[in-house]
Structure formats: C-alpha cells, structure tokens
Amino acid sequence: HLQLQESGPGLVKPSETLSLTCAVSGDSISGSTNYWGWIRQSPGKGLEWIGSFFSSGNTFYRPSLKSRVTISGDTSRNQFSLKVTSVTAADTAVYYCARVGHSSHWAPDHWGPGILVTVSS
Amino acid sequence: QSDLTQPPSASGTPGQRVTISCSGSSSNVERGTVHWYQQVPGTAPKLLIYGDDHRPSGVPDRFSGSKSGILASLAISGLQSEDEATYFCAAWDDILNAPVFGGGTKLAVL
C-alpha cells in the first residue's frame, strides 16, 4: 500500500529557506518506473507543479521557480526533499508530495496529506 | 491564473447529471492526456480519472471523462450529496515539460 508523508517546519521567515521531506513507503524512489514530484496549493487557489525527481537522479523544475528550487532524493531512506530559497509570502501554501505513475498514464496518482507552510516573520 | 481553464462553480440536484469543462491548448490538453481530481476541503486531491477516460479502481462508474481537441470534460451522473467537492483537471504540458492544472470547479449539490 503506497503512502507518502510530508514533514518539515510549518513556519518560515521571509528570505529564508523552506525545507520539506517526503517519506515514501510501498514503492521505491530509486527502482521505480514512476517518478516523484512536489505540488503546492496557495490558500483558496489552484494547484501548481513545483518540480520532479526521477529514479535516475535527474530533476526538472517549473521554469518560474527554477532559480530558487532544489529537489533531491535519499535512496537509503526512500525519501525525497524540497528546498525553496529566498521565500516570500507568495510561497505560503499547502505543499504536497506525489507519485507520478506510469500505470496511470503519468498522472500524479498518490499524494501525501499535505503540509501547510506559512511564510511570516 | 491557472494554465487550464475551468468554470469556478457548478451545481446540480441529487440524481442529476452534471458536466465540468476544462479548456487548455495544443501543448497540453490536445497533445497529452487529461486527468481529473476530486478534493474535499482539508484533504489532498484524489485521482478520479486518468488518461482522459480511465477510472482508478474504487472510483464509481458515475464518473466519466472525455476529450475533444483542447477541451476535456468530466461528467458525473446520478449526483449524490457526497460528490460536493472541488474538481481539478490536469494535463502534461509539452512546453513547460511539467503537469499543469486547472483552477478548480466547486460543485454544489443543492
């Protein structure tokens, strides 16, 4: 049974770095034909794809966030992480990690419950 | 402003059939496959339809998806009170090289 769980600070100060981790159970981030990603949802707004992590170690980032975002994987712990630097209030959102499944035509098919991150001093 | 366009709201009465539209472009909806999600407040989106018209196991056949050109649709037949939620569409975008989402349609069951 695949499960994803986000963890990290719920409050980050402006200009600092947001760091989140997604722990995965029920699938391997390194041996899988699937890939992994981070998505965020600002209060009362829609969903925004932040970036992707592939089992090869390759990453891909949304162009508008590319200069501030890093996604990395820790295969020994079967988890992947998100870092967003120089945060502002606009980065306040619920952050989700998700698996993008080969068998579901590359749909983000399993999601973590989400973690609310507020950027405020 | 979202990459895919959905009506902000929709409504129906129990038993009715409702349709939610999702408009994109040649780089996403037309060229790729469309997925639909259901989100209840305070929870993560749940995959409802993938690959334009496929249902994951456990999703009732009251939910169906279709696509023509740059327009995709989600249909819900036999509307039930438990269907009250926000529905999002998503598609892979060949220009962004990433999934893009609609702004969501909040469905009210009257």
**B38 at A interface, C-beta within 8 A:** no
Taking residues A14-25, report their average pLDDT.
Answer: 98
Residue carrying the six token digits 């009732």:
B60
A90 CB neighbour count, 10 Å cutoff: 8
User: Nearest Cα to A94, choosing from A50, A36, A53, A32?
Assistant: A50
Strand stretches in chain B, DSSP E: 9-12, 18-23, 34-39, 46-49, 63-68, 71-76, 85-93, 98-101, 105-109
**pLDDT, tens only, B43-55:** 999 999 999 999 9
B90 with A108: Cβ contact below 8 A = yes
**pLDDT, tens only, B13-51:** 999 999 999 999 999 999 989 999 999 999 999 999 999
B98 with A49: Cβ contact below 8 A = yes
Residue carrying the six token digits 């409050």:
A11
For residue B71, pLDDT beyond 90: yes
A109 with B50: Cβ contact below 8 A = yes
